[in-house]
Chains A and B, each alone.
Chain A
Amino acid sequence: MLVGACNVPLQSFTKSVQSAKPAESVALLDVRNLTIDFASHRGNTRAVENVSFQLSAGETVAIVGESGSGKSVTSLALLGLIPMPPGQLSGGEARFQSEALGGEVDLLRLSEKELQKVRGNEISMIFQEPMTSLNPVHTCGAQVVEALRLHTTLSKQEAAARTIELFTEAQLPRPEKIFKAYPHEISGGQKQRVMIAMAMACQPAILIADEPTTALDVTVQARILQLIDDLRRQRNTAVLFITHDLGVVAEIADRILVMYRGKVVEQGRVLDIFTNPQHPYTKGLLACRPKLSVGKKRLPTVADFMREDATGGFFSTEAVSLQSPANEDAALKGAAPKNEPDTAKLFPVEHADVPHSADALIGFETAPLLETGQPVPNAATSPVAAAPAEAAAADVPVDGTHTAPYHASTGELLLSVQNLHVHFPIRKGFFGRATEVVRAVDGVSFDINRGETVGLVGESGCGKTTLGRTLLRLVEPTSGSILFDGDDWARLPTGELRRRRRDFQMVFQDPYAALNPMMTVGEAILEPMRVHNVGGNGRQQKDRVLELLRTVGLKEEHYLRYPHEFSGGQRQRICIARALALQPKCIICDESVSALDVSVQAQVLNLLNDLKRDFGITYLFITHDLSVARFMSDRLLVMNAGQIVEQGPAAEVYANPQHEYTQRLLAAIPKDEPADIRAAVARRELV
């Protein structure tokens, strides 16, 4: 009954959106009822079902969905790039106004020869991985020249000149130099610019961008998005932007299609989707992303908004207690100051007990000074440090409802890192002495108190992962000390280190690679307990494993399963259970949710916070995602080029970033508040 109740309005609002669109003569691309199946030994899987949308010149349409939603398959199908023995076109058409082929054609039914005239010429594509989509044995320039000469009649010299022009348009620095550079010689962002230059080489009518910024840092992402939007405006290109992250497209898309399990569940103008989502899945997707502006107690997950029944239909289960995210945003915007501290997320008890005292402030201020990495003796004696302390005191509301100090900890020191250096030799001199080194971690000092969550943020290559691995002695430190629970881990002998490892665990980034594929889930969790001889005899250990499985939200019968039977989120739960098995004092989460879909990410973040409340675990949360760091952390360390450039309470750092790098980082985050979107839409209409 519920299914029917949901399906009817769903169709109706999709239709209403289409009819509300300004009536255009003929759309550049008109996809109707696209349906694609994949055959496997288990039968046919419907990857894309009845997808219809239109794309006009100069318009940006974003397809948003999680992994497996069919968004990439849709775009690949338009270029005939789906291998057809496993895949099969079960219906639909894609009408494209082609110049090269003289009139309207159906992209899905073109011959390979005709498709070659369209691909790269009239419809071009940018892929997710700039690292692998350029051929490493040719120079960047040669690859663009090749693409140009394939579709135009330009001579070699003309094509080279045009390529330099394109590189300039793609805002590549020193285009002549990049022309002669091999892909490994330039950065990831520059590679993506080369890819964009190549894609724009033949002035395509449509540019398909398949997750073009997912592999890039947030500051680079902002610039690439800007570049794509600029090129669209200059050349009136239609852009089909495929992404898993709604936030990315908020400012650059005109319309959004939300896909789920191969179906378009909702489509509409960007502002409508963000402010007034209709489908429960869209609502869930919007709500489960950690927000920069508000510290929420708990992230809602998609499951809070909808459930699925056996037939694949879904119905809304929106809880009354959960506010619609848009309303909440609007309400909080006026009510809460921007620098509202990260409130008592999941441990109200500790927060209520710890008074907002001067001790906490001094504790914070005696942490090493940011730029120098040198410890400051005392807040009281140092006028430089005292000033921010007063500022911090003034900023924290003292009205009782937000009695949140910086850290919800007991104030007892658990981990103290002092002047840690990790250098990797890259060139050795005559006597085997390193003459050139990479300073991956360059004089880092910080403290973590018991029960605290400290976020470590920074862009790729800043040394945050090396730092985390060095703390666990997976990488040997060059100098400095790592005082963990009273001992200097930098100097523990290997045998002693192995015995002490039970106190200090790690959850890795890639849940697909972090589990031994040859071991059952039960064995994987049991093994460390056996080795360290904790948890009693064999039977008690096994009971404990079952209990752990329940704790992390899995079932007892999963004990005998192998990792390949689980999804990414479930595997990350298994990894968490394995880390918990030894009852550690501290867990390092190294990009632990980066590889997961947003809705799964929300579940895992909630789980981590639940575990912290229940077991009092201390986390060092390493991430490149500032929103996730904001949601998780009590305190924040910002890292750049091997050094910690800023540290402080999370709310403080976000509200009032001191260091220029932090400011840049925060400014680059895609803005998806309704006001920002409205401004972006207005901006686009002006142009």
Chain B
Amino acid sequence: MRVSGKTGWLQNAAYAWLMALLLLAFFAPCLPLQWAFGRLDVLRIAAPPSAIHYLGTDPYGRDVLADLLLGARTLLAVGLPAALLTSLIGILLGASAGFWGNQQLRIPSVYFVGVLPGILAVCVFGVSWPVVPAALLGLIASWALHYFRSSQYKIVFPVDSIVLAAMLWLGAIPRIILILVLCAAIDLTPPALVALLALTSWPATARLARAEVQRLRMLPFIEAAKVSGLPPIRIVWHHILPNAWPVLRAAIPLNLSACLTFQTTLAFLGLGLPDGATDWGRMLSLAKLEPTAWWLIVFPCVALATTFLALRVATPTHSRTSA
């Protein structure tokens, strides 16, 4: 397998844009901008680009350039963790499903007694005082039971079927509607939004990881590792994941652009983070108030489009050659 190593000018431009976006977003508060963030210029409401406001102002008199930079901060503060979490969940679930399948994962039954109720309790009652210590206690107790009486009855855990079913159900409901309903139901804070995005967008990555791991686990060197007596976790970590990485790493930029799209859509619909957080989507929605103000549409759109294109170009491609 060979990962194409050549970078053309297009790739370089894409990397440059993404890097610039990251740096500008990070250092936005330190930039010497004439119209600082959050300040309203009530004299120039919805003013076209000028020497004072380089990219114009919105209907509330906020500077568009400052808002773009602030919006990039919000975008990356939510989008990056969401994309990383999505990739992590997807790779973990997909690799488990692909490696163990339905037959191979045997979990000592004590774990079902001790751990599952704890997880359920956390899910139902949330992360709160008596629940978390109780769940931890259950975990420790089941581990101890397992450790001191080693030959226990083990339950075959059909991880593949479970992951596939989860992907099927998540895929069956249109994602935008699912997110809209959930947005309406819960109070959205940035961590909640990250969790929401990650928990609804992992199936694509999981499908990729599952297919790749299924291919790899049949290869002789994995069997050789098994014959050497390596524990399964080590086989996955040392042998499977490094070999799957050239494929899996493409998932991260793809997840990032997917998360950014959803975040922007939510903000445009006015369902994203609570008021006060500037967002490119929300900036676009403001353009509805001033249909003639082209700068309110053009600049956020250009920023969004460039970012998505850059992410697409920067996605690592690979070509498999029969060595």
Contact = CB atoms under 8 A, between A and B. Distances in A.
B142 interface: no
Contact of A528 (B1, B223, B230, B243): B230
Interface in B218-252: 219-221, 223-231, 234, 238-239, 242-243
Contact of B221 (A502, A505, A516): A516
Given A493-B151, A494-B106, A527-B238, A514 B227 contact: no
Given A514-B224, A532-B229, A575-B224, 17 more contacts: A469-B223, A472-B227, A474-B226, A495-B150, A499-B229, A500-B229, A501-B229, A502-B228, A516-B221, A516-B238, A516-B239, A517-B1, A528-B228, A531-B228, A531-B229, A578-B224, A578-B228
Contacts of A564: 323
A501 B227 CA distance: 6
A498 B234 CA distance: 12
A498 B224 contact: no
Contacts of B224: 506, 508, 514-515, 575, 578
A310 interface: no
A528 B219 contact: no
7 contacts: A495-B150, A501-B229, A505-B228, A512-B323, A513-B221, A514-B220, A516-B242
Given A494-B106, A508-B220, A518-B243, A527 B323 contact: no
Contacts of B223: 469, 474, 506, 508
A50 interface: no
Contacts of A504: 227
Nearest to B234: A531
Contacts of A508: 220, 223-224
Interface string B195-223: 00000000000000000000000011101
B281 to A, nearest CB: 41
A502 B229 contact: yes
A472 B226 CA distance: 10
B242 A518 contact: yes
B219 A513 contact: yes
Interface in A127-167: none
Contacts of A495: 150
Interface of B: 1, 106, 150-151, 219-221, 223-231, 234, 238-239, 242-243, 323
B146 to A, nearest CB: 11
A510 interface: yes
A638 to B, nearest CB: 25
A582 interface: yes
B17 to A, nearest CB: 31
Interface string A464-481: 000001001010000000
A498 B243 contact: no
A509 interface: yes
A564 B1 CA distance: 11
A531 B225 CA distance: 11
Contacts of A528: 228-230
Contacts of A494: 106
Given A493-B151, A564-B323, A514 B229 contact: no
A531 B227 contact: no
A209 B243 CA distance: 37
A508 B228 CA distance: 12
Contacts of B225: 516, 527
Most chain A beta carbons < 10 A, residue from B225, B226, B227: B227
Contacts of A516: 221, 225, 238-239, 242-243
Interface residues of A, number: 33
Nearest to A528: B228
A513 B223 CA distance: 10
B195 to A, nearest CB: 33
* A-B pairs, 6 with minimum CB distance: A501-B229, A528-B228, A514-B220, A518-B242, A513-B220, A508-B220
Nearest to A504: B227
B42 to A, nearest CB: 61
Contacts of A532: 229
A498 B229 contact: yes
A113 B318 CA distance: 36
Contacts of A474: 223, 226-227
Contacts of A469: 223
Contacts of B230: 498, 527-528, 531
Contacts of B151: 493
B228 A582 contact: yes
Contacts of A500: 229
- Among B224, B231, B234, B323, max chain A CB count under 10 A is at B224
Contacts of B227: 472, 474, 501, 504-506
A230 B242 CA distance: 53
B243 to A, nearest CB: 6
A422 to B, nearest CB: 15
Nearest to B151: A493
Contacts of B228: 501-502, 505, 527-528, 531, 578, 582
Contacts of B242: 516, 518
Most buried by B among A469, A515, A518, A582: A518
A41 to B, nearest CB: 12
A315 to B, nearest CB: 33
A314 B226 CA distance: 43
Given A493-B151, A528-B229, A531-B230, A510 B220 contact: yes
A575 B221 CA distance: 10
A532 B225 CA distance: 12
A575 B220 CA distance: 11
B119 to A, nearest CB: 24
Nearest to A515: B221
Contacts of A493: 151
Nearest to B218: A513
B320 to A, nearest CB: 12
B214 to A, nearest CB: 16
Nearest to A506: B227
A531 B231 contact: yes
Interface in A497-551: 498-502, 504-506, 508-510, 512-519, 527-528, 531-532
A594 B97 CA distance: 34
Interface in A200-230: none
Contacts of B239: 516, 518-519
A517 B243 contact: yes
Contacts of B323: 512, 564
Contacts of B231: 498, 531
Contacts of A531: 228-231, 234
A512 B243 CA distance: 15
Contacts of B221: 513-517
A582 B230 CA distance: 12
A519 B240 CA distance: 11
A500 B226 CA distance: 12
Nearest to B223: A474
B157 to A, nearest CB: 14
A566 to B, nearest CB: 12
Nearest to A575: B224
A501 B224 CA distance: 11
Contacts of A519: 238-239
Interface in A547-581: 564, 575, 578
A590 to B, nearest CB: 9
A673 to B, nearest CB: 36
A499 B229 CA distance: 6
B151 to A, nearest CB: 6
Question: Which among B151, B228, B323 has the greatest number of chain A C-beta atoms within 10 A?
Answer: B228
Contacts of A510: 220
Nearest to A513: B220
Nearest to B239: A516
Contacts of A505: 227-228
A209 to B, nearest CB: 23
A544 to B, nearest CB: 15
Interface in A84-137: none
Contacts of A517: 1, 221, 243
Given A494-B106, A495-B150, A531-B234, A509 B220 contact: yes
